[in-house]
Chains A and B, each alone.
Chain A
Amino acid sequence: MAMEMRLPVARKPLSESLGRETKKHLVVPGDTITTDTGFMRGHGTYMGEEKLIASVAGSVERVNKLVCVKALKTRYNGEVGDIVVGRITEVQQKRWKVETNSRLDSVLLLSSMNLPGGELLGQGVLVQVSPSLVKRQKTHFHDLPCGASVILGNNGFIWIYPTPEHKEEDAGGFIANLEPVSLTDREVISRLRNCIVSLVTQRMMLYDTSILYCYEASLPHQIKDILKPEIMEEIVMETRQRLLEQEG
């Protein structure tokens, strides 16, 4: 059995180790963004006393004449075309209430149940992260080469499950496959889950490449060791470097 106790360590500021050329302009509510009145006001800003003031805590984004503040930690705000993973919390007469980490519970009407793209999920692991850490991409369903599949919901709910061996035609209705998942698949899923948790702790964006690089960097370590702070930092640092090399 393993038992580890340690003394707490103060968090190191991340920017020192990043080596980023352009520093992000971070603001808190009440900070002045600019006194130039030529800009259009976007989300997270308001005009007060002839200057533009931030109303949320986050980083300033500037697109031509539009200034907005993107909040770092927020509930999920839906957009058309987003993929979300939700948990059914309530069953009412003609609809289901779904929890999606947004301000209000979402509603799923029974009539929209069999539309393409919507499905009930079977065995797997759900990881809840902040919605701002999920990168917007063309597709959110990824079959990773390591043997598991991942659905990156835009609302911050990430579903990891064993890759189904063959795509079956839905024979009307949903019957969950409750057979035991093999040990190798389980190890892959647990490892992926720990990698995602470490990426989130170090505030890195989540997408298929970052998760895959993190998985490969974690292979020399035991699965349960990934959550130890020093090993987590080492793995995420390696992932960050590989991603920078890939872009550059």
Chain B
Amino acid sequence: MMNGGGGGGQKKRAPRIEPFRHRVETDPKFFDKSWRKLHDAIREIYNHNASGLSFEELYRTAYNMVLNKFAPQLYEKLTENMKEHLEDMRTCIDAAQGGLFLEELQRKWNDHNKALTMIRDILMYMDRTYIPTNKKTPVFDHGLELWRDTIVRSPTIQGRLSDTLLELIHSERTGEVINRGLMRTTTKMLMDLGLSVYQDDFERPFLEVSASFYSGESQQFIECCACGEYLKQAERRLSEESERVSQYLDVKTHEKITAVVVNEMLANHMQRLILMENSGLVNMLVEDRYEDLTRMYTLFNHVPDGLTTIRSVMASHIKDTGKSLVTDPERLKDPVDFVQRLLNMKDKYDNIINVSFSNDKSFLNALNSSFEHFINLNNRSPEFISLFVDDKLRKGVKEANEEDLETVLDKVMMLFRYLQEKDLFEKYYKQHLAKRLLSGRAASDDSERSMLVKLKTECGYQFTSKLEGMFTDLKTSEDTTQGFYASTSSELLADAPTISVQILTTGSWPTQTCNTCNLPPEIVSVSEKFRAYYLGTHNGRRLTWQTNMGHADIKATFGNGSKHELNVSTYQMCVLMLFNSSDVLTYREIEQSTAIPAADLKRCLQSLALVKGKQVLRKEPMSRDIADDDSFFVNDKFTSKLFKVKIGTVAAQKETDPEKLETRQRVEEDRKPQIEAAIVRIMKSRRVLDHNSIMMEVTKQLQPRFMPNPVVIKKRIESLIEREFLERDKTDRKMYRYLA
């Protein structure tokens, strides 16, 4: 039926459309009839009887209604009708008992969805025309809203639904098995109804209930569990909740429930857990419980400040353990053992951080600063570390293969980095190196050089240049000695003992005051020839024999016929050679002949006469102390399994207290010019600088070598003012000015 509006065509003889000549009347019952059709159809649909319906007819009916401008009424009627059906459904759902409640709900929900789909299709035309124009909710969504309001949010159902779901979850948490499929469809239904429905009607109460559940559980567990056990439980619960979400909750809930568990089980008890006696972090560290530590790290990663807390507890523990190690007087008796323990401790924590703390950089930094803190609590650490290296280099590849030695030395370098007084270490290293080199007991040139390279890489060229000079000296000395023998005629040297000379450049080697000593004439003769040779080629230099540093190999024939080669110090050689011309000598006589200072001479005699198995001389009386009139004889009963016998040890010992004091004083003295040089350098470039800045700059510049004492810096500044390198500013007494 078309209502024509005739627009008259301009063309002639065009067909004209004319209105009907009779009155067209619309059927007053049109709406009711049409609606009745739809109403009944909907009823059938809800009764699972849709198969008998003609989609086309229903669609057309709806279409016509809309065309005839009955859309608003249609919409209204639809709403009413759906509500009725839903109310019926509600009754059924209410009637369902216990476990069947959810099932019934689900069933009805499915029905409603199916119905809605069909209804929407039927009313498609209205959906496309009336609804957008009038900003009404589309049919399907409208149907969902009605479901929400009539069913889900009905007073009888709303609470019941929420409670049922939460009860089921609770049962599952306490170990029972529940129908997860049903849970899934129910939560999905809520999601379909809109995120806010899901959140308000389910998620929020869920999170609240979970919080109190976990709060209770955590209280219970923490009273009776050790930390490790507790963490296992927490971990278990976390993965359980994760699974729950993936199985039947919306994915957005995951983050929130995790936060709840973390908060209740971990954050709220963090301090108590980490610091738990006998099972907390400290205990885990001590016992290397990697698994527990890894778990703790992973879990507390979720907690704000969790890792910070772990890190600081670890750091204090390391500092405490370290401190007791370095201040324990027992430990200080054996320097090599002392350092070994430090290395072991470092290894231990390196491993823990690597395995359990995923090599977290901030933890490594904490480890480093803790070590730095306690290593410097003992001011003998530099000396001990040098002794450790000395020990390892002496034993060299005899004890450990080259690779192992390298690894150990690298680890020692780590400890070296922690030292604040690196210049003190340098002094000791020099002393020990000198002894090693001169006694010929450095095991491997390669290892020595490798160590030097490590130090150079760490501290720069200046640190090692003198040490390298020592090596060069020895090499050059070898060449010089060879040159001496090559150029000096053999007649001159016929009966003379063979000498090997090491020429030490003063300044590269540790300074030693050399004392008097009368060398045996044979030695004097050849050594003077050497001196003449050397000065011949090196004009202007001065050679001084260091009799306290040399050693000699003597062939000895004893009264009982045994022949041995004795390896002794120079002093010992001087003493022994005296016995070539006398059978017996008193201490006084020996002292007079050799002119060796008393303390050294006594030590030397003791090592010749009183050491079991090495008694080359006999002493009367046998007492330990040496009096002026005590007599010494060659021990004709001397025996040894070895042909070559080594007398007396030249290995580096840890210093006696007076020696320690002296070394420290020397180091302090050496620091003064370094501080001054730094001050001058800084002032030269800055010209004018205030007091605090200068203190900071100087400390910064010198830190790689040592920590300068502020009082000393001040004194140096004043000294420089006195010597007119600097002056105070006339108006501001806190500013210093460089005087060119």
Does B associate with A?
no
Interface residues of A (CB under 8 A from B): none
| Chain B residues at the A interface, C-beta cutoff of 8 Å | none
